[in-house]
Structure 1
């Protein structure tokens, strides 16, 4: 039995979450949003630059008839990265250990952005552990649609050895914690004015806390470069998505700057057994920008998908 110890941080406590630290080949921080019942548990998997806080506005409502938990991936949130790898492969391994040793499968994975990719690969590598997949604006192979120029420039810098590290350190040193959070809002939200004020304050406190974590820039860039390498092999990744046997719900914001809606529509068309929902006026993180819509869509899908609905 894997031992857990209470975490010293309480950033998600206002939303009913309790934090824990578990040794899974290194310390891993995760939070339990409660819930009980016989339905497969939900495991929330955040994206690049995210953490367990990304699920605060929807987790408690979805923890009905089932347990709901969220982990901080290696190198993100309150889970340290260095000296351990933060690659996609390493974090898929971490998710698999978390599901098997902490939660117990099969589970419903709810993944956003990079977390969507990690969830897809978990379903591909270990299908017996995944009862269902909810993909919220998952990272997808590029299309011929012209990318957002700001996003393209940012990721081009991240890919360049030396320049990526320098740009990250300059950003960390020149921007306050609040400015970093607002910068992220401007990137992932179609309308930054929709950011929840209480969650914004918790996110600022999280950035303050993360300043004490060594090697966080390298951890972020390691994950970013690994993700982009995987997505560059678009045909292979599309075959992996097509081979998923678990039921899938795809939700994408029409105003996503990071993953163009054309890529999401292409994925939906290539996988006609998936359920798909496209949200006008919403960006890259629907669970933060339109939580009520996400709660309704996911709850409805869970209730009518007989293999994961519970009793």
Structure 2
């Protein structure tokens, strides 16, 4: 059973602006896992699995630009491309390389890009319901299709993501996100839900969070629209890959994951039955079991990630 989710050490670093991340700790000689959250998420998305993984691994999770406590705006863009560059700097200057990237949703897409384009920084990939091009024959969830279509029309998208800025709306937003991402939100540990609610309240004072989310969402759709380039990126990955996917994911239909697994038969593919878009929150025990089992089956990747160190001086 996972440990009770506790808020890990909160840290900051300066990467052309403040970047917040959570350090779950772990043994100094353990493999380095860098956990990358998805669209609308934060480093807290790993709070249900981080403490247990940190018993044998070093585990850190950054807030990408525009999410959690890392603000965007100004010269700091919140696009997929810009956040990949931010992740690269975080790996090289703060966390260390080569690391095992554990990416969920948009974070999975960013991790795929990082592994394909910056081979020296990754020792392995764990993709948890990653953002993938949809299967043409898959029927999208009507609610999700409506939201995604609105994101592509700036005026409508801004109206959709904008909301009152008060504690009640923050709590509702946190619970709405759980309902959208989970097949059964009641399975998410209460402590983790409370952490997300507190973060939503803290973000009430952050400027431009709505436009930053919209920018990130639009860039995500354009990246996924280039199916040929995306397939080439997957083929360029030369490290072991574990692909996890909930079979009741409303946001990324499991058909997309099955297609990726067929196209990359050397990847290990595991299905979380009765689980939605965030298995690491909805079924942390299953997620931990699969990750630790995969690490045990790939000792070379784990050994390489155990040697991960920053290549420039650490900056808090």
Q: If the length of structure 1 is used for normalisation, what is the TM-score?
A: 0.93
Deviation at 1:195, TM superposition (A): 2.1
**Matched residue, 1:95:** 87
Give the drift of 1:150.
0.4
| Contact 1:251/1:276 (<8 A) preserved | yes
Could you tell me which runs of 5 or more consecutive residues in structure 2 were left unpaired when the two chains were aligned.
307-316
Note if contact 2:170-2:204 (Cα within 8 Å) is conserved in structure 1: no
Distance 1:25 1:207, change over 3 A: same
Deviations, residues 218-277 of structure 1 (Å, cap 9, x unaligned): 110111000000001112101111220010000000000000011110100100000010
Distance across 1 between alignment mates of 2:300 and 2:71 = 35
Is residue 148 of structure 2 the alignment partner of residue 155 of structure 1? yes
- Determine the structure 1 residue equivalent to 2:118: 126
Aligned partner of 1:143 in structure 2 is 135
Structure 1, unmatched stretches of 5+, are: 1-12
CA change 1:242–1:171 in 2 (3 A) is: farther
Q: Is the 8 A contact 1:142 1:232 kept in 2?
A: no
1:288 and 2:281 matched: yes
| Aligned counterpart for 1:215 among listed residues 204, 208, 213 | 208
Partner residue, 2:101: 109
String of CA shifts for 1:19-69, please: whole Å, max 9, x gaps. 111110111000110002434310000001101110011012112343110
**Count, aligned residues:** 299
Task: Go from structure 1 to structure 2 and tell me whether the alpha carbon gap of 1:16 and 1:177 turns closer, same or farther (over 3 Å shift).
Answer: closer
**TM-score where L is the length of structure 2:** 0.91
Which fold has the larger relative contact order, with Cα–Cα distance below 8 Å and residues 6 or more apart in sequence? 2
**Structure 1 segments of 4+ aligned residues over 2 angstroms from their partners:** 37-40, 170-175, 308-311
Q: CA deviation at 1:173?
A: 6.8
Query: Which residue of 2 is the match for residue 48 of structure 1?
Result: 39
Instruction: Give the aligned CA root-mean-square deviation in angstroms.
Output: 1.6
